[in-house]
Structure 1
């Protein structure tokens, strides 16, 4: 087997005939407990490979791999690396890592996580879901709906699909659904049959430098489609719509989806916006009802007076217009994969979320605690809109506990974070989760940068557990407390629930 390093941004090349069977191949995954890496470990194992790994911190995914019988090591050491293994890394793994150094000293193959996933997906119709936000929900929806429709898809998702109790599975069906990570350009390692682009809102500017460079990466991603493949892009997002127009002008098959009626979209013949129209018919604290209509074929103008298909009813068990948009993308992908439109819509109705996406943590003293991975301003705005519907149905308020993720993102989007968090009645911001960055490189950037831009009530409490207790003290029966962020803020849900249960005096 010959592979190339992720910096080449080229697909994995395989010289062995075992395109569908990795028996006899060995992989060692550094950082195996991470959300993305752990699902790759599971899929490689299910394809017959010998898989080992290590992780500095362990965690739930790490323990689940151990329970499945994988040899995984807590902590990084050169001795952990089998001599015959291909070593798999993510961008977060530094060159100083002892296991990576050991592999390089031995001359072992080193590949990126995305390249390992591409290898595991060989022989399937690869469905790559990309965008600054919405990837996990959309890919999770699609995986669950295809499963419910009897397609038995393979999937690799950076969060547990609640109804399926896992984020990874090797199925017998033709589809392989995966999140495509744009943060480090690794989504350019795929050659998808179907691409879904939920949005192209600038993010990861620490890597890309400019919004233009970020958008250009998605152009390159669209060019990775296999001949005859389909790009499904959100017409409600200006960046995704521009990508759709450019791809269609270049001869690609393109379908757009959105909430705007096709006839109302000006702008010429290609590719008329919103081929798949989402019409929200009702909203509630427990879900969203919508109608899906399809106008025109892929890549053709969607300006006809009547839809070719629909309306098809869609009843979702999760609140939020953004969830209905994600469902429209999954619906169109399901149709492309051969599922009947009504069957696909009904299957989507059973989706009740993925881990860390509007995930219920519990209730105490009449206060509900919800955890969400939102870490981009647009995600937070959509989250708080949905949370408002839930809280108002209970006669309560929304209290947000936000942990910013990355110093660079906080610096770049402080104004937008402040505006988005205005959707809460009160916001507590805690210390920034640094991930791969260090405070010394951003000495002036703290969570206070966000609080200073809040138009409403808010406070900065650097200590995370103190912030959690403060949220509990503010709450009264009927309120909804949200823990928000991509870092370890998820652990604070239990701190809040414990403080509430102990009888903390309400504000």
Structure 2
């Protein structure tokens, strides 16, 4: 993958017939769904069949399993995901025909045009924050359009066309494509080093987010607790943006206090502009989610919604798939799944797991982490940090690297991470064959424990298998 050069968006009604290469991806399928709802003719292809492809076919899309040059016949615009390589036959044929070829973010900008846009950016937390804001707006009756990098538990969808004037979108910084968006309001949850295979250096990541703030039209909401995000404040104010800071910092505009874990949820207090101390209740665990919810609250208030209505909406949020998602319980052991694939995300989810296990077993249970590193480059950059994060668990099982779009690198494997976990050797296992994991977990787990599978790859498939193994199925 490489950084994408921003292009000016084409209005959605001028895209013509749109073909998506990699239509089964979370972001691509969401945009395709919205275009179909607007009556645009859509086709697409993906490497394998999936429920998402079936859903899009039922909505009227012409969907192909596998890639072939013939699939771009009678097409006006081709949308390409970052996972698509230059050797893809459909991309090659689109280039040969001289078709309009745009990246996913340009298509997202097209469907956002004409709406009051809110973009949620950040190295971590953007999917959950986008989802929280979407659900809060829905509960308030605003019925926004939305496009999230995950699926809401409430709707089962990652994107949809609403009847309201608002559009809430997750802004992806991984390839620089968030610079194609021009939202009225933006949230930046945090800025940390990641995607260094594209950016090359942490400062380049910071510079990318600074350029993103230049695209914001009216209000910027940033986390005061995060040094990278807070460093963007002065420049944004110099450009005339209204800036709101949220967090536990004493000088935050929206100040978070008294965060208290409660089972699989938490409560906390927020005090903000025109908002006396109010109690917020969430049905998802993790102290980091108090910050995510406060960011959503600040953005919603800027959209004109009453704070008390937003707080009620946040209380109804039941999570996003793959974000500390419960997969089941058997033999007194609860199993959860997380998309965490950066060291900071592992730390946040393992700390949340500590809070959950305290209520699940009265504090007597343990946390068993099952981690699949994502990308060879990320594993090479962050092996030490991944290992340190996994030290927050009682036992750690490390799988091999899920390469995704990358080719294997000599000497880079899950063993790099496993060797860095600061736990006794008998409590750390490197298991290249993931089919062995359910039996290994069942052998090690005991009543009162929780198991957390983590990673952006196919580790998510292990949760139900672990539950079945624990239950003796």
Q: Smaller-chain TM-score range? A: over 0.9
- Any residues of structure 2 matched to 1:176-187 within 5 Å, and which? 176-187=167-178
Q: Tell me, in whole angstroms, the C-alpha distance in 1 between the residues paired with 2:443 and 2:284.
A: 28
Question: Alignment partner of 1:254: what SS?
Answer: strand
Q: Tell me, in whole angstroms, the C-alpha distance in 1 between the residues paired with 2:402 and 2:271.
A: 42
Question: Alignment partner of 2:290: what SS?
Answer: helix
Check conservation: 1:465, 1:495, Cα contact below 8 A.
no
Residue 466 of structure 2: aligned partner: 496
Check conservation: 1:280, 1:321, Cα contact below 8 A.
no
Question: Alignment partner of 2:293: what SS?
Answer: helix
Q: Tell me, in whole angstroms, the C-alpha distance in 1 between the residues paired with 2:142 and 2:208.
A: 31
- Residue number among 245, 264, 283 corresponding to 1:256 in the alignment: 245
Check conservation: 1:472, 1:496, Cα contact below 8 A.
yes
Residue 104 of structure 1: aligned partner: 95
Residue 383 of structure 2: aligned partner: 414
Q: Which string of whole-angstrom CA distances, capped at 9 and with x for unpartnered residues, describes residues 143-198 of structure 1?
A: 01000000010000111111122111111212101110100000001111011100
CA drift of 1:466 comes to 1.0
2:350 counterpart of 1:359: no
Residue 477 of structure 1: aligned partner: 447
Residue 324 of structure 1: aligned partner: 290
Residue 291 of structure 1: aligned partner: 269
Residue 302 of structure 1: aligned partner: none
CA drift of 1:59 comes to 2.3
Q: Residues 281, 97 of structure 1: CA spacing in aligned structure 2 closer, same or farther, 3 A cutoff?
A: closer
- Residue number among 199, 216, 237 corresponding to 1:225 in the alignment: 216
Q: Tell me, in whole angstroms, the C-alpha distance in 2 between the residues paired with 1:120 and 1:89.
A: 16
- Any residues of structure 2 matched to 1:319-468 within 5 Å, and which? 319-395=285-361, 396-439=365-408, 442-456=409-423, 457-468=427-438
CA drift of 1:327 comes to 0.3
Check conservation: 1:125, 1:175, Cα contact below 8 A.
yes
Q: Which string of whole-angstrom CA distances, capped at 9 and with x for unpartnered residues, describes residues 20-69 of structure 1?
A: x56x8210000001111110110111122101100002323222222333
Check conservation: 1:144, 1:164, Cα contact below 8 A.
no
| TM-score for the superposition, normalised by structure 2 | 0.96
Instruction: Name which structure has the greater RCO, CA cutoff 8 Å, separation 6+.
Output: 2
Question: Alignment partner of 2:396: what SS?
Answer: strand
Check conservation: 1:430, 1:463, Cα contact below 8 A.
yes
Q: Tell me, in whole angstroms, the C-alpha distance in 2 between the residues paired with 1:116 and 1:400.
A: 37
Residue 304 of structure 1: aligned partner: none
CA drift of 1:498 comes to 2.1
| TM-score for the superposition, normalised by structure 1 | 0.89
Q: Tell me, in whole angstroms, the C-alpha distance in 2 between the residues paired with 1:27 and 1:318.
A: 37
Q: Tell me, in whole angstroms, the C-alpha distance in 2 between the residues paired with 1:423 and 1:109.
A: 49
Check conservation: 2:263, 2:360, Cα contact below 8 A.
no
Number of corresponding residues: 466
- Residue number among 123, 126, 130 corresponding to 1:139 in the alignment: 130
Q: Which string of whole-angstrom CA distances, capped at 9 and with x for unpartnered residues, describes residues 224-244 of structure 1?
A: 112xx1111101110000012
Unaligned runs of 5+ in 2: none
Unaligned runs of 5+ in 1: 1-5, 263-273, 296-307
Residue 95 of structure 1: aligned partner: 86
Question: Alignment partner of 1:161: what SS?
Answer: coil
Task: Select between 160-169 and 187-196 the one with higher mean Cα deviation.
Answer: 160-169
Q: Tell me, in whole angstroms, the C-alpha distance in 2 between the residues paired with 1:491 and 1:217.
A: 34
2:46 counterpart of 1:55: yes
CA drift of 1:281 comes to 4.2
Residue 186 of structure 2: aligned partner: 195
Check conservation: 1:469, 1:495, Cα contact below 8 A.
no
- Any residues of structure 2 matched to 1:141-180 within 5 Å, and which? 141-180=132-171
Check conservation: 1:11, 1:191, Cα contact below 8 A.
no
- Superposed CA RMSD in Å reads 1.6
